[in-house]
Amino acid sequence: MIADAVYDSKRKEFLGRDSTRWGKLAIFYFFFYFGLAGFFSTLVFVFMRLVPLDRPRYHGDASCMQARGKPLAPGLGFRPQIDAVDNTISVEKNQIDRYVKSLHQYLLVYYWKYDIDRFNQTKKFTISDPGDCTPQNQYGFASGKPCILVKINKIIGFEPKPGYMPEDEEAYQNAGCRPNPNAISIHCTGESAADTANIQNITYISENGHDKNCGSLDTKWFPYQGKIDRQDVYQAPYIWVQFNDVKPNVPIKVICRIYAENINYNKLGYRALTQFELIIKN
Ligand SMILES: *[C@@H]1O[C@H](CO)[C@@H](O)[C@H](O)[C@H]1NC(C)=O
Ligand SMILES: *[C@@H]1O[C@H](CO)[C@@H](O)[C@H](O)[C@H]1NC(C)=O
């Protein structure tokens, strides 16, 4: 009988053990798990003491993200990005709020450059003349001239060198970036010639001012030094790319890439660039 197997009233056994044996078992497991928890905590403690607080143990040249023999190539990112897999920005009347909100939240993060041992607020990244790319202006989305934020991804200890790689010379000349010994350049084009023809009038808004050809990021924001006590106090510098004259109702594939003497661009490898699709619906 099942009832007997659960509780045997003759021998006073519950599930085959009497109270003394259950008690011994409980005591054994109490100390067993106590010991196990202690062992686990000791390992966690030792591990936490060994792991640096501000950066991964393996980074830069020691990182497994370092691609075989190639120079490091930081990726670029854009905002607004509604979710990680969708790179479409669809500007529609009454549908712009989510983009404005996404940009707003991104910019709310306070970022200070790590200054040896202090948070230095005087080094907060700002673009002093953002033009239309302000929250009051819905970052240009309301007027159909959206401002897209393009930023460089963080790589600990990486210092980009202004200029371009030898194989990028022609592309750099065609982009028409103004050489600046203290800044690296970002340039956006359509993915195809037809895409490029649909985005004729772009304004690049950087900390160094407005430009029709390229945006720039000052080298003073580099290198990224990691976190302070596991808190990120650094935000990568960014530019605004404002699309003033987009052919409506056509999806346009845009590629923004970065130029520097030590940044290796590779379209197939998705290195040193970001891609998004822009549609202005009316
Ligand atoms: C912060 O940076 C400014 C400008 O580089 C510098 O003059 C100032 O001494 C720094 N403050 C601290 C607390 O390090
Ligand atoms: C580009 O757009 C700006 C801002 O809307 C405008 O002032 C300028 O005249 C336009 N330039 C051309 C060549 O269309």
Tokens describing residue 138: 């819905």
- pLDDT tens, N- to C-terminus, the chain (282 residues): 677 778 887 878 888 888 889 999 999 999 999 999 999 999 999 998 988 888 888 877 777 666 666 667 888 999 999 888 889 999 998 889 999 999 988 887 654 444 444 555 446 788 999 999 999 999 999 999 999 999 999 888 889 999 999 999 999 999 999 999 999 999 999 999 999 999 999 999 999 999 999 999 999 888 888 887 777 777 789 999 999 999 999 999 999 999 999 998 988 888 899 999 999 998
Report the pocket of ligand 2 as residue ranges, CB < 6 Å: 201, 244-245
Q: How far is ligand 1, taken at its centre, from the CA of residue 118, in Å? A: 9
Q: How far is ligand 1, taken at its centre, from the CA of residue 220, in Å? A: 13
Residue 209 backbone class (left: φ over 0; alpha: ψ -120 to 50; beta: rest): left
Rg (CA), the chain: 28
Tokens describing residue 217: 């990021």
Tokens describing residue 17: 């053990």
| Ligand that comes closest to the CA of residue 120 | 1
Q: Which CATH class is domain 64-280?
A: mainly beta
Ligand 2 atom, smallest distance to 145 CA:
5
pTM as predicted: 0.80
Side-chain half-sphere of 112: how many Cα atoms within 13 Å? 12
Task: Determine which helix (DSSP H) or strand (DSSP E) holds 76, and give its type and residue range.
Answer: strand 76-79
